[in-house]
Amino acid sequence: MHDIERRAFVKGAAMGALAFTVGGAEVLLTPAAARAQGVPLRTLTAAQAATLEALGETLVPGARQAGISHFVDQQLSIPAEEALLEARILNVRPPYANFYRAALGAIDRASQALNNGRPFVELSEAEQRSFVDNMRQNKVEGWQGPAGPFVYLVLRSDAVDVVYGTMDGYAALGIPYMPHIAPSKRW
Amino acid sequence: MANERVDAVIVGAGASGSVFAAVLAKAGKKVVVLEQGPDWQLADLISSDFWGRRIKPASVPFLREGKNPYGYVFNAGWGVGGAALHYFANFPRLLPNDFKIKSEHGRALDWPISYGDVAPYYDKVAQDVGVSGDAKAEEIWRPVGAPYPMPPMKTFRNGEIWLKGFEAAGIRMVPAAVAMNSVDYKGRAACIHDGWCHVGCPTGALANPLVTYLGDAKKAGAEVRALSTVTRVLSNAQGAKVTGVEYYDAKKERQVQEASVVVLAAWAAQNPRLLFNSATEKHAKGLANSSGLVGKYVMAHFASGTWALFDEDVQNHRGTTGAQFMSYDRYGKTSHKGSFGSTFIVAGSALKTSDLGGFANARLDLFGPDLAAFMKRAARGLTRINAFGEALPNIENRIEPVSDKDEFGMPLAKIVHTYDQDALALWNANFTEGLEIAKATGAKEVWSGRGNMPTIHLMGGTIMGTHAGDSVTNSYGQTHEIQNLYIAGPGIFATAGASNPTYTILALSLRGAEHLAANWSTVAG
């Protein structure tokens, strides 16, 4: 699709929901629905997505089921100017996939180095919490990658977005959403 | 490919460019506005933190350096309406003491104009865009002016609950002046207090450019070309006049737009970048830069946020993103011992869950079940005040071109920014006072919103002054060196004050545009 036509598409029909590819066709889904339907990933590897899910769930309970990996994966597959990621606001330089790959790689490398070869996804919940707490404070030994506290900030924001930033997330907290223009599909 | 020559080409369809476009178009001039980003409409402004990020920049033409790197994307604009499409519409003025810091304190810079020169334009802008507030109440701090056209906005418990704390600290709070409709105004509906201002207000209650000056400009015949990226200002062989701009259109094809007058209103960082890239044999260091001051003296605001958590439901989802109450009681440059600079205080902001200002970030240290528990409590009882601080102009804080280039071959630039010790001391003093205020409210928990020292708004870089040796423009935004080249926006501020800048941006732009229209034949020649 030509850039300008694509932009028009995004400004119009797809506004308020994300376009995922299912059976060769683009359909509008929430990330949670995309995960539930097993929509194939576009950008992340299965291992990266698993790390992101585990990390997201550690950061914000519910992020896994809310589809954090499908959200980030879909967002990394579209032009940066269409992206909804907090990374955009935090001055991450496009393409954003570079940052996510570096961040997820740093997490697994550090986890393996500190835990007898076990990647983050294989750690116990307590170990995952401890790892994240150290990452937050830039205290992970041998960390190599984007600064740990910044990785924490960006990925925590993604998890917050999918769990608490949606209309369903507001409803779960008992907060009236009160939109002027509501996102479609409550997302 | 050449386009039909016009009277004025304006680079940037944000707050300042919109004012110039409206004034010149109404004066009968043929005006073209070139905007790098999309042609946003009100219907694009979805009430959602993450959908709201689409109206901010994604590409990064600026590298960030210094001890306090400027975090620009969250408060920058991209597309028609610019940053004023998602601003909070807090409308405090600068005060008389902002214009004479060097004269009164032997520090920083003086503006070449006084508060009295700008005040009539504050009053005009208030009528043009619609401001709600209590001007009489503000006059304990500033000279008398015209009343605002609308009464103050409705207040909510998340703002009112702070008043006891401010009273205990001896700080007077008055209704915040905001560019929002407390009642229907000029065919635009009154605000319904749903707190989505920060992602763009589609109702027209908040005075963004689409429903104010840019709308007026279009009605008067101005043409807005979106997805048009200006890369150079063109000048004649003698270097005495500018002749138009080079830009790349939506198909990324090179275009030239000739004009009698060029107005750069592309943001405080982008205007210097364009001036640097417009260098010629006659202007080897960039246009309007014989003094070497283009890009110098960039300034940011910082905020000391204080949080309070109450047991009662403070309805923190109600109101506006900006403020319900404000105070200049700490606006004197020496208000806090051991520091220097003004402080502007606000209370009562509607809160959302996510994004930078969302309440998940009120306790950035929390994650997992602790965060989940906090979110439940915060949804009911969390509220915040903010004290905005002034950083003085420092010539080392600057914008410079770098060797990397963008897709059009235009060099990127870097923003080098470091706060001085006075700013740091003021930031800390405002945290200390914020906690005292919060404790006096009787809140269950109070804490400071500390993190990296924030960089909010961007001012300077093309400052105004009296001559080419001390500045880039005169007080109208007209460059000293090229009479038909103007710069609009916060880049021409000589000092930053502590007030949110947009009201002053509009007032200075109106003053500059009216002066240009009145002196058109001399300027455009």
Which pLDDT value is given to residue A16?
60
Strands B325-327 and B445-448, bridge-based pairing: unpaired
Q: What is the mean pLDDT of residues B106-122?
A: 98
Residue A15: the pLDDT is 52
Partner residue facing A81 (CB), from B49, B58, B372:
B58
Residue B1 binned pLDDT confidence (cut-offs 50, 70, 90): low
Q: CB of B189 within 8 Å of any CB in chain A? A: no
Beta-carbon separation of A91 and B73 below 8 A: yes
Cα of A59 to nearest chain B Cα, Å: 5
User: Model ipTM?
Assistant: 0.95
Q: Which residues of chain B does A183 touch, with a Cβ-Cβ cutoff of 8 Å?
A: 46-48, 51
CB distance from B3 to chain A under 8 Å? no
pLDDT, one tens digit for every residue, chain A (187 residues)? 344 434 443 443 345 678 898 888 888 899 999 999 999 999 999 999 999 999 999 999 999 999 999 999 999 999 999 999 999 999 999 999 999 999 999 999 999 999 999 999 999 999 999 999 999 999 999 999 999 999 999 999 999 999 999 999 999 999 999 998 888 766 7
The 10s digit of each residue's pLDDT in B333-356 is 999 999 999 999 999 999 999 988
The better pLDDT of the pair B1, B287 is held by B287
Kindly list the residues from chain A whose CB atom is less than 8 angstroms away from the CB atom of residue B201.
180
d(CA B50, CA B71): 18
Taking the CA of residue B324 and the nearest CA in chain A, the distance in Å comes to 19
The residue of chain A with its CA nearest to that of B195 is A178
pLDDT in tens, B233-282: 999 999 999 999 999 999 999 999 999 999 999 999 999 999 999 999 99
Q: What is the dihedral of CA B267, B460, B134, B20, to 10 degrees?
A: -40
CB contact under 8 A, B353 and A164: yes
How is residue B2 written in tokens? Answer: 């050449």
Q: Is the pLDDT of residue B2 over 80?
A: no
Convert B394-417 to b/e letters by CB count within 10 Å (16 or more is b).
beebbbbbeeeeeeeebebbbbbb
Say if the Cβ atoms of B46 and A85 lie within 8 Å. no
What residues of chain A lie within 8 A of the CB of B369, using their CB? 61
User: Would you tell me how many other CB atoms lie within 10 Å of the CB of residue B109?
Assistant: 22
**DSSP output for B66-120:** SSS----GGG---STTGGGGS---B-PPP-GGGTBHHHHHS-S-B-SS-HHHHHH
Query: Which residues from chain A sit within 8 angstroms of residue B47, using beta carbons?
Result: 177-183
Q: Mean pLDDT, chain A, as a whole number?
A: 90
Nearest chain A residue to B58, by CA: A81
Q: What is the pLDDT of residues B137-155, one digit of tens each?
A: 999 999 999 999 999 999 9
B194 — contact with chain A (CB < 8 Å)? yes
Chain B, nearest residue to A71 by Cα: B50
